[in-house]
Structure 1
Amino acid sequence: MSVRIGNIDLGEFPLLLAPMEDVSDPPFRYVCKQNGADMMYTEFISSEGLIRDAAKSIKKLDIFEYERPIGIQIFGSDIEHMREATEIATQAGPDLMDINYGCPVKQVACRGAGASLLQDIDKMVAMTKAVVEATHLPVTVKTRLGWNDDTKNVYEVAERLQDVGIKALTIHGRTRAQMYKGVADWSLIRDIKRNPRIQIPIFGNGDIDSPQKAANWRLEYEVDGMMIGRASIGYPWIFREVKHFFRTGEFLEGPTVAERVEVCRTHLEKSIEWKGLKTGIFEMRRHYSNYFKGINHFKEYRMRLVTAATLDEVQDILSEVELKYSAEVV
């Protein structure tokens, strides 16, 4: 049976790309889409930044036709500002709006936004209602199990947010206090999925880093789909590998070095297209070590890649890498 968010048909058991700050920009989303991500989100965008017309926030509204279906994710601490930001983001033409109630980092949570709202469910509900009423698009939410081990209140959150009109809920299987440490606990996510009151799709997030784990947890936790974040950084092939395993029960061979180089080049080209030559080359530097993780004696090439100043230099180094490691599968 197909999973639907409003009128968006995501097919059976969709794989979603998580919104990740400084990672899930259009160039990165392009290579993930090419490798099988069913739905993607922008990096999270500050409601205050959108209202102030801050250049960085406005730039994050850029979406492209090939990315659809795509959601714009916003966060903030002021209900009225979230309503205004929703109206602004809706004009950018996404397929849905998403609210971030999960970000655990201090700069967000300690300013009353992101996961902080898990400490004030009434305000979270009022904010969500304001966002739902401010747009004709389906609204989804991403959150965590609770603020800490003593306040795992996501069961109540799921019911109350559904009641004010959200169309899907993604739950990261950690509390805010855990940040990204320890092991994600999906048992509460399963409890929510089993709640007869819950009619919206429930997506699980946290620690999905292999096809086998995805298949096991799909059965064990009964979710409608999965959101993959950190495992896709430098490894967009995770989406196609998980799908292949679901279909066949067999592992797909990992990408060859030639494939890694090819996707890295594509990412670089898209980065330059979107950010301009200088920034595109500079911001791509954070991705090289991830694309070539696990390759023996790669340090020298990594150092050269992160110091190369021109596109020709980078392309030459990538050609060298491909030539040297062409016979190797990692």
Structure 2
Amino acid sequence: MPDDGGGPVEIPGKFPLNDATEYRTAEYLMSKAIAPVNFEYLRPLPSIHSLSAEIHGGLDNDDAGRKTIPSAIVQEKKSNRKLKRERKQEQKSTVRICSEVAKSGKANECRFADSCRYNHDIDAFLAQKPADLEGVCPFISLEELCPYGITCRFLNTHKDRPPSSNLDISKKSSEINALNKDLQRLLWKNKILFPKADAQLKALGLKGGKSFEVKAVIGQLDIHLENSNGLLVDEITDTCCLPADEIQSSPIKATECSGDAFVLDESKPPKKVKYLVDGSVEQHCSSVATYVGTRESKNDLPETILPIELEGASSIDICSSKDDFCLKPHAREKKIIDFRGKLYLAPLTTVGNLPFRRICKTLGADITCGEMAVCTNLLQGHASEWALLRRHSSEDMFGVQICGAYPDTVARTVELIDQQCNSDFIDINMGCPIDVIVNKGAGSSLLMKPMRMKGIIQAASGTTGLPLTIKVRTGFFEGRNRIDSLISNIYDWGATAITVHGRSRQQRYSKLADWNYIYECKKNAPSDLQVLGNGDIFSYCDYNKHISDCPELSTCMVARGALIKPWIFTEIKEQSHWDISSGERLNILKDFVNFGLEHWGSDTKGVEKTRHFLLEWLSYTYRYIPVGLLDVIPQRLNWRPPSYFGRDDLETLMASNSAADWVRISEMLLGKVPENFTFAPKHKSNAYDRVENG
């Protein structure tokens, strides 16, 4: 063994470092968190002088102090004035063609005609449109009409599609949980009522419960809830809806509407709305958004106003009495999900998008969860935040993850998701280490506020009938773990499962996960609370070890390991190390691209968005070292790959830590990048201790 104190000692036939004059054993390399790549594949790093001649931007130091090629193409910073000018120029250009014209290929299809602010010149658009990409339009393989028409980058393959008579034009997308535009407008105007959440907050004595004088929106009608004999009074039309047995006592002339309900009005035609009177639903017709109320006393009205969902949304259970509504659902009445023995893909920021989750499903994942969505953004109707809740039909067991700082925002978000989205469980992230989340009082900051945690969990669990799961870290500060003392309380507050990430917020990802502490948490947890472990799962050996060391664990959540090698789920199920070839890895990337084009679109904007998320993913996958190249297997998550050659040129390219090489891989799948293209990884994955996932 080398003498660390006396400088490097050469050991011929072992592992060369740097300029191939220093040698170390595999054990020494692993102790320094350097992957022991087989001798024949290692290559010396180029000298500083040769690198500086190739790179104008200089050299970067990696975590091991080695000189490396910068891993990002630095993006030019533009002023707000320049960005505004570019947006105006784009609006006036032929690039901004009308979507209706593009879809139909006919200039006269737009209903706004000359008043449309978008371009209708098809010839001008086609003249400047980039060349079509190689491959087939993803919507043709789905036997659907391409919704992007002439803007599709695979337009030349549209002529090969089946006849229109053989296409299912009415076929709905295989993605659900899209944000309804009418709901979005109501959220923008803060016109949505959350009676279940507000009733639960009021019962718990927490802030956020709304007063009696509340205002709702029914289509374009402003409705005030008044206490005039239990009537629902229309502010605009001065009409109200009454049961038939009380219509005789009203001094206002009655006009029959339908069924046993009447609209009272002397001069105006009846409005078509849908009310609930005395616990029964009177369906007059559909409307943009409808609300219902029961005839209770003034003090009870806020607890008995129930939102009926938007047209096309799934139906909800309507309680026939105040007591049915206010009571917190018993634990036995809630749907239960058994996580035991199932492979769970963690919710991952940025890279854990819907196309990536589809990839993991094809490779063996059992449970998937959407990216973390911020409650305040969901309640404000941000389309980008609602996109994180999208679900594909292949995700047979799917959850949504949210984060919030206060019980009222979390409870109302849970009620909104419960009504508007299709999911199997709701996960609340109380372990996110990202500064922007922590500084707002959410994520890991809640670990220092147990009473706030209690309020959030109780309010959320009492609002929804779906299983509520919690994701936490060991604590906020390193060496001050506290979840083991709270885990019993978390179950009493209403959680059905908890995932413990074996690091503190202060650690981020700088050290190995503390699985002994996770085992301790499980021992302190009630038997009915499912406990999941999370941290450094990178092979089936890691998974087996943790399950055998603590059989009481329900399962292990796989996070960064799936980013680097999504086939880890296949390895766990087959109990083998998959020496995957570069061609097989490229096929996985091709599937991701096809899924991305279906999700983000096959036009230029969708292609570039797919490219962006592909590059974000490649900023992780380069860290994978093929099994056939390692002298010691399996690879550990904290090992840093040295500079090495692959078994073929593609494998060598995939091992590069240069963003320029990642762009080359994207060009193999999505064509040439546009002029002035820039890319910088969002999470700086080269810094192994700064990954912002979790």
TM-score, normalized by length of structure 2?
0.42
Residue in structure 2 matching 1:266, options 577, 588, 591: 591
| 1:40 aligns to 2:368 (yes or no) | yes
> Is 2:311 the partner of 1:311?
no
**CA–CA distance in 2 between the matches of 1:52 and 1:197?**
37
**Secondary structure, in 3 states, of the residue corresponding to 2:452?**
helix
User: Partner letter of residue 373 of structure 2?
Assistant: I
| 1:286 lines up with 2:620 in the alignment | no
Q: Given the alignment, which residue of 578, 584, 587 partners 1:253?
A: 578
Correspondence for 2:355 among 27, 31, 50: 27
**2:356 & 2:343 partners in 1: Cα distance?**
16
Are the counterparts in 1 of residues 473 and 504 from structure 2 also a CA contact under 8 Å?
Answer: yes
Cα shift readout 1:257-281 (whole Å, capped 9, x = no counterpart):
2221111111111112111223122
Report the equivalent of 1:186: 515
The answer (yes or no) to whether the contact 1:35–1:240 under 8 Å persists in 2 is yes
Write 1 or 2 for the structure with the bigger share of helix.
1
Residue 470 of structure 2 corresponds to: 141
Counterparts of residues 108-257 of structure 1 (less than 5 Å): 108-195=437-524, 197-222=526-551, 223-245=553-575, 251-257=576-582
Question: In structure 2, how many angstroms separate the alpha carbons of the residues matched to 1:196 and 1:177?
Answer: 24
**SS at 1:7's partner residue?**
coil
CA shift in 2, pair 1:196/1:62, >3 Å: closer
- The separation in 1 between residues aligned to 2:525 and 2:593, in whole angstroms, is 47
Amino acid in the other structure paired with 1:125: K
- Asked if the contact 2:342/2:366 (under 8 Å) is kept, the reply is yes
Structure 2 residue 381 is matched with structure 1 residue 53:
yes
Counterpart of 1:297 in structure 2 is 652
CA drift at 1:157:
2.2
Instruction: State the alpha-carbon separation in 2 of the partners of residues 132 and 236 from structure 1.
Output: 32
Distance in 2 (alpha carbons) for counterparts of 1:43 and 1:196:
27
Partner of 1:101: 430
Is 163-172 or 275-284 further displaced after alignment? Answer: 275-284
The Cα RMSD (Å) is: 2.1
2:415 aligns to what? 87
Distance (whole Å) between structure 1 residues aligned to residue 620 and residue 517 of structure 2: 32
Equivalence for 1:323: none
Residue by residue over 1:263-320, the C-alpha shift from the partner in whole angstroms, topping out at 9 and shown as x without a partner, is 11111111121112231223222223544544453147534235x3983459xxxxxx
Amino acid across the alignment from 1:156: S
Q: Is the 8 A contact 1:260 1:291 kept in 2?
A: no
> Taking structure 1 as reference, are residues 309 and 197 closer, same or farther at Cα in structure 2, changes over 3 Å only?
closer
Q: Distance in 1 between matches of 2:586 and 2:621?
A: 8
Paired residue for 1:8?
Answer: 337
Structure 2 residue identity aligned to 1:297: T
CA contact (8 A) 2:475 2:482 kept: yes
3-state secondary structure, aligned to 1:37: coil
Letter in 2 for 1:311: L
Contact 1:43 1:73 in 2 (8 A): yes
Q: 1:170, 1:204 within 8 Å by CA — same for their partners in 2?
A: yes
Hey, what's the Cα distance between the residues in 2 that align with 1:154 and 1:94?
27
Q: Distance in 2 between matches of 1:180 and 1:301?
A: 26
Letter in 2 for 1:263: I
Instruction: Deviation per CA, 1:119-147: give whole Å up to 9, x if none.
Output: 00111011011111121111001001111
Distance 1:196 1:147, change over 3 A: closer
- Equivalenced residue count is 303
Distance 1:232 1:263 in 2: 13
Q: Taking structure 1 as the reference length, what is the TM-score of the superposition?
A: 0.86
Distance verdict in 2 for CA 1:252–1:6, change over 3 Å: farther
Structure 2: how far apart are the matches of 1:237 and 1:309? 22
Query: Identity rate of aligned residues, in percent?
Result: 28
- Contact 1:273 / 1:280 at 8 angstroms: preserved in 2? no
Give the residue type in structure 2 aligned to 1:127. I
Q: Distance in 1 between matches of 2:344 and 2:444?
A: 20
Give the secondary structure class of the aligned counterpart of 1:287: helix
SS of the equivalent of 2:390 reads coil
Q: 1:9: Cα distance to partner?
A: 4.1
Structure 2 stretches of 5 or more lacking a match?
Answer: 1-333, 626-645, 674-694
Distance 1:6 1:201 in 2: 14
8 Å contact kept, 1:189–1:221: no
Q: Is the 8 A contact 1:159 1:198 kept in 2?
A: no
User: Structure 1 residue 150: deviation in Å?
Assistant: 4.7
